[in-house]
Amino acid sequence: MLEVRSLSKKFGDFQAVNDVSFTLKKGEVLGFLGPNGAGKSTTMKMITGFLEPTSGDATICGKSVQVEPLSARKDLGYVPENAPLYEDMYVREFLYFIAKMREVFNDKIEEAINKVIKMCSLENVEYQKLETLSKGYKRRVSLAQSLIHDPKVLILDEPTDGLDPNQKHDVRELIKELAKEKCILISTHILEEVEEVCDRCIIIGEGEKLFEGTPAELKSKSAKGRIQDVFRAITKGEHLEGVAI
């Protein structure tokens, strides 16, 4: 459903992403890991069409984001980092606007809005202005807008950022439920999230793919079973006792 082929991006002389490739199938959640500045968000922006790659391509449900960008995006839901919202709108009003933009049929809009409000636990704030919401609720509205058109592919950049522990649990459970019918790419700094929701994970550093495998395979590289130790060893090139990379 999602195929990334040799994506690269340069900003002047700076190589932000270098030859990153991977595939993602229906029913899978792929964790995209890396330290700040590793190229995660840049890669996601190229996949979603917000940035033009220097080279390479990505296909969403068989449609190239370079050749057929509008058709490709119809099957895509995206929550960017620090997702912008129209803060003078009310929650339902904003979701209605997004549904129209996403070309949801008029007779299906109310049903779609009610569905994502329930999925993202927004019932208590659906008639509030976005500017009045906490960071956690704004994040949930961002997730709701990505789901309004029932996309087949979801790309979530730090989906639990700003949420309290209970909200994080709810979003993780929602991701696992959504993955039954979709493929999901999530960027996260929370390593426990990888173990809990991801089927596979990729680690990138300085724009290059350094590891791809299951969370269990990543964890097995540490004698103590500590993913954070393996992550540090891979991304910083450190030799840590009990870690084999």
Tokens of 142: 């961002």
Q: Are residues 156 and 69 in the same domain?
A: yes
pLDDT for 243 equals: 63
pLDDT in tens, 78-95: 998 777 799 999 999 999
Range of the domain at 67: 1-75+152-214
Q: Are residues 48 and 157 in the same domain?
A: yes
User: Within a domain: residue 52?
Assistant: yes
Q: Are residues 110 and 12 in the same domain?
A: no
CA–CA dist 73, 101 (Å, integer): 12
Domain count for the chain, please give it: 2
User: Within a domain: residue 228?
Assistant: no
Cα 65 to Cα 3, 4, 79, 100, 184, distances in angstroms: 10, 10, 17, 22, 17
User: Within a domain: residue 219?
Assistant: no
User: Within a domain: residue 230?
Assistant: no
- The mean pLDDT of the chain is 90
pLDDT for 217 equals: 87
Average pLDDT over every residue of 152-167: 87
pTM for the structure as a whole: 0.89
pLDDT in tens, 114-139: 999 999 989 999 999 999 998 888 98
Separation of CA 206 from chain center: 19
Q: Positive or negative, the Cα torsion across 91, 93, 99, 102?
A: negative
CA–CA dist 135, 131 (Å, integer): 10
CATH code of the domain containing 65: 3.40.50.300
Sequential DSSP letters for the chain: -EEEEEEEEEETTEEEEEEEEEEE-TT-EEEEE--TTSSHHHHHHHHTTSS--SEEEEEETTEETTTSHHHHHTTEEEE-TT----TTSBHHHHHHHHHHHTT--GGGHHHHHHHHHHHTT-TTTTTSBGGGS-HHHHHHHHHHHHHTT--SEEEEESTTTT--HHHHHHHHHHHHHHTTTSEEEEE-S-HHHHHHH-SEEEEEETTEEEEEE-HHHHHHTBTT--HHHHHHHHHH----TTB--
Tokens of 78: 């995206």
Least-confidence region, from 5-19, 50-64, 179-193, 223-237: 223-237
CA–CA dist 161, 91 (Å, integer): 19
